[in-house]
Structure 1
Amino acid sequence: MRLMIFSDIHGNLEALQSVLDDAAKRNVHRSICLGDLVGYGPYPNECIRLVRGLKNCRVLAGNHDLAALWETSPYGMSSVAKEVILWTMEQLSEENKKYLAALPDRLDLADMTFVHANPYNPRGWRYVMDRKYALRSFGATSCRLLYIGHSHQPLVITRKHLLAVTLQTVPGNMQFELADSRRCIINCGSVGQPRDGDPRSCYLIYDSREEKLEFYRVAYDVEKTVQADLDAGLPSVLGRRLCKGT
């Protein structure tokens, strides 16, 4: 099986379509979206509709998705994130609100676990980017492979034995072999708002037959999204961040 994992679309329709077009050329059988379909970007309804229409795709809830429903308070977010969430609340159709409200927090599939942020407190929204939270995450599931999003930065964290944890960032297109028995936490990066200095969208494919991870970066029309942000009256800082990948 070739499984596509993607996350953090954040209302960026241009980025989402480019990623889906790229994945369509790579013999993907199934896909899982780790949440945050909305927030930051100007196309919340369009992105939800596009993801809803995908075949063989499971979708989880992210913190921005739940904030847009008041299930998580937007007032705990940054001022820019809060402003866009309040705007998003006014844009969402009733049908799409119901869709977001029905999304689960966690998915367990074979020897894999999927969450938006972390498995030990899915709605606590802690970032798993260091040894402390990696160990907590390993302890919250017995799976071999744990897939996460939320930080917008592609990352592979391996655990050889109880306390030996290795963190490796993923620059550009890369492949990782998973032939040994090490447990891994894998962050698939962000489709709609990368924050690792590379403005291209990021997603990954897990090939279960060859036991490898394939990370892909995909260019899209950033300027079109920047202009759409401005046309919608959203903060101009969003466009600057998209251009820089920060």
Structure 2
Amino acid sequence: MRLALLTDLHANREALDACLTHARAQKADQYAFTGDFVGYGADPAWVLDTVMEHVARGAVAVQGNHDYSVTHETRPQMHFEAREVIEWTRGQLSGEQMAFLSGLPLTQEFERMLFVHASAHDPVKWEYVTGLEPAERSLRAARKRMVFSGHVHTPALYRRADDGRMGSHVPVPGTRIAIAPQHQYLVIPGAVGQPRDGNSAACYALYDDVARELVYYRIPYDNGAAARRVIAAGLPIVFAMRLIEGI
């Protein structure tokens, strides 16, 4: 199975379309979406329809914190501009789309894999996995060889060796990474819809469970068009600038 891993789509139609087009060219035969389909961007309905179509064909999907906020009372921890987009998003979605978001699980398992938006240690706390210690907590809680998550908007890869030692790897786009069967891995592909590592190109990854290889990709897309959509929708301009600057 060649599994395309996409996370933090954030209502960015142009970025998602570019990543899916690239994944098809790489002969992906299954898809996993690890949350935050809405928020920040101007096309939540189109993005959700696209995810729902993939799920109907067998794709994995789990709930992210922005998805959760749209269908629940907005959390006070969320900053003002993000809350503003959440309120706007509620008015853009159909009843079917809202039901889809509210019905998404926090985690999903498939064979030796676990999918979660943030940390598997306590998924609904939405912990940011940004170092070895939180990565180890997530891996220990997951009890699966391969853990796929998102939330941090930056590509990352963590490994827990069979002797318990933790390590990290900075992924190089397009480079094949061999996956050792005796180790445990936490894969964070980076954000499709709002990268924050200084590179505005969209992120996704592809995992081949037969060849036991993982590849991270950066996909240039028309981020100017996506930014103009944010402005035209009347959403905070900071979210348009993030798409241009990648921060």
1:81 aligns with 2:89: no
Q: Give the direction of change, closer, same or farther, for the CA distance of 1:196–1:174 in structure 2 (3 Å limit).
A: farther
8 Å CA contact 1:10, 1:193 repeated in 2: yes
Contact 1:64-1:85 within 8 A present in 2 as well: yes
Q: Give the letter aligned to residue 78 of structure 1.
A: H
1:180: Cα distance to partner?
Answer: 4.5
Query: Amino acid of the residue matched to residue 32 of structure 1?
Result: A
AA paired with 2:101?
L
Unaligned runs of 5+ in 1: none
CA contact (8 A) 2:108 2:114 kept: yes
- Which residue is equivalent to 1:203? 204
Q: Which amino acid aligns with 2:143?
A: S
TM-score (structure 2 length as normaliser): 0.95
Q: CA RMSD in A?
A: 1.3
| 1:193-240 residue CA offsets vs partner (Å, 9 max, x unmatched) | 011111111111110111010111111111101111111001111111
User: Which residue matches 2:17?
Assistant: 17
Partner of 2:150: 149
Deviation at residue 59 of structure 1 after TM alignment: 1.0
Q: Secondary structure at the match of 1:24?
A: helix
Residue of structure 2 equivalent to 1:99: 100
State the 1:171 CA deviation. Answer: 4.1
1:74: Cα distance to partner? 3.6
CA apart distance, 1:47: 0.5
Tell me the residue number matched to 2:37: 37
Q: Which amino acid aligns with 2:104?
A: L
Q: Deviations over 1:138-180 (max 9, x none)?
A: 2212211111111011100011245521122324333211135
Asked if the contact 2:155–2:190 (Cα under 8 Å) also holds between the matched residues in 1, the reply is: yes
Amino acid at match of 2:203: C
The C-alpha deviation readout for 1:80-99, integer Å capped at 9, x for no partner, is: 21111111112221111011
**Unmatched segments (≥5 aa) in structure 2:** none
1:2 aligns with 2:2: yes
Is residue 112 from structure 1 mapped to residue 82 from structure 2 by the alignment?
no
TM-score normalized by structure 1? Answer: 0.95
Fraction of identical pairs, as percent? 34
Aligned to 1:58: 60
- The structure-2 alpha-carbon separation of the partners of 1:48 and 1:67, relative to structure 1 and needing over 3 Å to count, comes to same
Residue aligned with 2:187, SS: strand
Distance 2:168 2:79 in 1: 27
Which has the larger displacement, 128-137 or 11-20?
128-137
How many Å separate the matches in 2 of 1:82 and 1:162? Answer: 43
**How far apart are residue 34 of structure 1 and its match?**
0.4
Determine if contact 2:121/2:138 at 8 Å carries over to the other structure.
Answer: yes
Paired residue type of 1:56:
G
- Within 1, Cα distance between the matches of 2:113 and 2:61? 15
1:216 aligns with 2:217: yes
Runs of 4+ in 1 over 4 A off after TM superposition: none
CA distance in 2, matches of 1:104, 1:122: 10
CA deviations on 1:10-57 (whole Å, 9 max, x unpaired) are 000011111111111111111110011000000011110111112331
- Residues of 1 paired with 2:174 and 2:211: CA distance? 17
**Contact 1:179/1:212 (<8 A) preserved:** no
The CA distance in 1 between the partners of 2:49 and 2:139, in whole Å, is 34
Deviation at 1:126, TM superposition (A): 0.2
Q: SS in structure 1 opposite 2:3? A: strand
Question: 1: distance between equivalents of 2:133 and 2:21?
Answer: 37
- Size of the aligned set, in residue pairs, is 245
1:184 aligns with 2:189: no
| 2:36 alignment partner AA | D
- Looking at structure 2, the residues matched to 163 and 245 of structure 1 have their Cα atoms a distance apart, in angstroms, of 35
